[in-house]
């Protein structure tokens, strides 16, 4: 009986933590195209219920899709045949901001190139981001997973914010969790990143 009580306490604690952080969608596991469609649909319904402005809904939807695709492309738990990856995806709204958080496994050898890319993106002005995006469209080469490096640039452009990220060590420091948190204002700000 005490195991059931501990389980219930754990579930309630997790629920309270999610509510206090404004999380409305949390998923951990395999990401396929169908699951991505389901999440975008659920998030759209959630924004409809909150009477979110159409321009904000479009931006959240666009960034959500980019984050999910980015996570799948950069995950080291990726099945190329099924075009799926493993990871965690969280969406919620708190204090006037939509927060999209993704986490996926990445090998230590990929950390520094990814960190350099993000730091470069974070150092650019909106106009420089626009120029980099155009340059990447013209000159970018596709990775083995089909990416041309546009996702993170586009996320920064759409949100008008710096990319917030961390690398957390996993098993014997060979693999890490790559966490990416993106904030989107639910009201129009001075610069909207578009």
| CATH (domain of 175) | 3.30.565.10
Whether 153 maps to a domain, the answer reads yes
For residues 131 and 97, what is the distance between their CA atoms, to the nearest angstrom? 27
Q: Which helix (H) or strand (E) holds 30?
A: strand 23-31
Per the structure, the complete domain to which residue 117 belongs is given by: 2-185
For residues 106 and 108, what is the distance between their CA atoms, to the nearest angstrom? 6
Whether 50 maps to a domain, the answer reads yes
Whether 194 maps to a domain, the answer reads no
Whether 193 maps to a domain, the answer reads no
Total structural domains within the chain? 1
**Which segments of 32-120 are extended strands (E)?**
78-79, 84-94, 97-107
Whether 192 maps to a domain, the answer reads no
Residue 37 has a CB neighbour count (10 Å cut-off) of: 12
Selection from 37, 107, 102 nearest residue 77 by Cα: 107
Directed axis angle between helix 54-74 and helix 151-159, to 10°? 160
pLDDT in tens, the chain (194 residues): 566 787 777 777 776 777 777 777 778 887 777 887 887 888 888 888 888 888 888 898 889 888 887 777 666 665 555 545 678 888 888 888 999 998 888 889 989 999 999 999 999 999 999 999 988 888 765 444 445 468 899 999 999 999 999 999 987 778 898 999 999 998 755 444 44
């Amino acid at each position: 009986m005490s195991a059931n009580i501990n389980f219930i306490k754990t579930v309630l604690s997790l629920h309270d933590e999610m509510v206090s952080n404004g999380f409305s969608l949390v998923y951990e596991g395999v990401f396929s195209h169908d699951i991505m469609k389901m999440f975008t649909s659920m998030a759209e319904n959630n924004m409809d219920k909150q009477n979110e402005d159409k321009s904000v809904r479009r931006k959240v939807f666009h960034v959500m899709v980019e984050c999910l695709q980015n996570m799948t492309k950069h995950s080291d738990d990726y099945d190329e045949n099924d075009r799926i990856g493993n990871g965690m995806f969280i969406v919620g709204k708190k204090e006037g901001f939509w927060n999209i958080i993704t986490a996926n496994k990445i090998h230590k050898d990929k950390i520094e190139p990814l960190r350099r890319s993000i730091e470069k993106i974070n150092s650019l002005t909106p106009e420089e981001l626009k120029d980099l995006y155009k340059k990447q469209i013209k000159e970018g080469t596709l990775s083995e997973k089909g990416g041309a490096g546009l996702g993170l640039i586009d996320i920064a452009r759409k949100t008008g914010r710096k990319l917030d990220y961390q690398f957390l060590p996993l098993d014997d420091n060979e693999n890490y969790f790559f966490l990416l948190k993106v904030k989107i204002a639910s009201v129009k700000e001075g610069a909207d990143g578009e």
